[in-house]
Structure 1
């Protein structure tokens, strides 16, 4: 579907720890671009409806975090988790999840998600605009493989999960690497 598509060029507004600031909240704003995250690397990007939500916090994010070594063994440099949440929320979620391997990307305004065609309304849950759940293998900013949950639509009554799971993405990588080696 989106295989071969170049990722949209977007600026993400992030908060990064900076000990030179001092005090109880030593963070500063730092803008990062699509090129900063995806340029010159092979990465897994997965996007989900919201930080701190049940499926995201219980299965998807921990699965990618705990499986990082398996992904690295398949040639993945980084794993990124994106959500239409601001940097404050994403940083607190990463902290609460004890992330060491997966890096979070805040798409606070939903611009990247909108330009990917994955921005949906979740008003039925009181969320507003959010990302539909998907994952991708991205090489130097170009989508190599795409994993989109079925039923993309506004106010979907369920939260499908499986197609974008860590297991599905890892299985694809293993098979793709076998084919490449043959």
Structure 2
């Protein structure tokens, strides 16, 4: 669907650990751009409705985290998890999930998600505007493969999950490798 599309250029407001700050919360603001995350790399980006939510915390994020070495063996340099949450929330979620491999990207204002055409209202859950669940394989800032959950709509009564799962993305990469070898 979106294969061949270049990612939108946005600036992400992140908080990074910096011991020179001192105190119990040694973090400082650091702006990162789309290019900082995606230029010159082949990555998996997956986006989901919210940090700390059940499907995201139980299946999707842990699946990508645990499968990192397999993805790396298939030519993936980085795996990024994005949500329309601020950097404080995303950092705490990464800590709670004990992430070692997957990196989180905060899209606090939803600008990237909106420009991707994936921003939906989740007022029925008290969330406000959030990302529809999707995954993508991105090479040097251009979408190579797209995995979007069906039924994208505002205030959807369900949270479909399957198309953007780590298992589905891995299956795609395996088939791609087999096709290239044939």
TM-score by length of 1: 0.99
CA separation in 2, counterparts of 1:132 and 1:115? 13
Partner of 2:83: 83
Within-5 A mapping of 1:154-165: 154-165=154-165
Partner of 1:25: 25
Aligned residues: 182
Partner of 1:54: 54
Q: Helix, strand or coil for the counterpart of 2:22? A: coil
Q: Where does structure 2 lack aligned partners over 5 or more consecutive residues?
A: none
CA separation in 1, counterparts of 2:4 and 2:30? 29
Deviation of 1:181 (Å): 2.4
Moved more, 17-26 or 93-102: 17-26
**1:14-48 deviations in Å (ceiling 9; x for gaps):** 00000111111110000000000000000000000
CA separation in 2, counterparts of 1:163 and 1:27? 35
Partner of 2:129: 129
CA separation in 2, counterparts of 1:124 and 1:15? 30
Q: Helix, strand or coil for the counterpart of 1:90? A: helix
Within-5 A mapping of 1:139-158: 139-158=139-158
TM-score by length of 2: 0.99
**1:66-124 deviations in Å (ceiling 9; x for gaps):** 00001000000000000000000000000000000000000000000000000000000
CA separation in 2, counterparts of 1:93 and 1:29? 18
Partner of 2:94: 94
CA separation in 2, counterparts of 1:177 and 1:38? 22
CA separation in 1, counterparts of 2:91 and 2:180? 37
Q: Helix, strand or coil for the counterpart of 1:23? A: coil
Q: Where does structure 1 lack aligned partners over 5 or more consecutive residues?
A: none
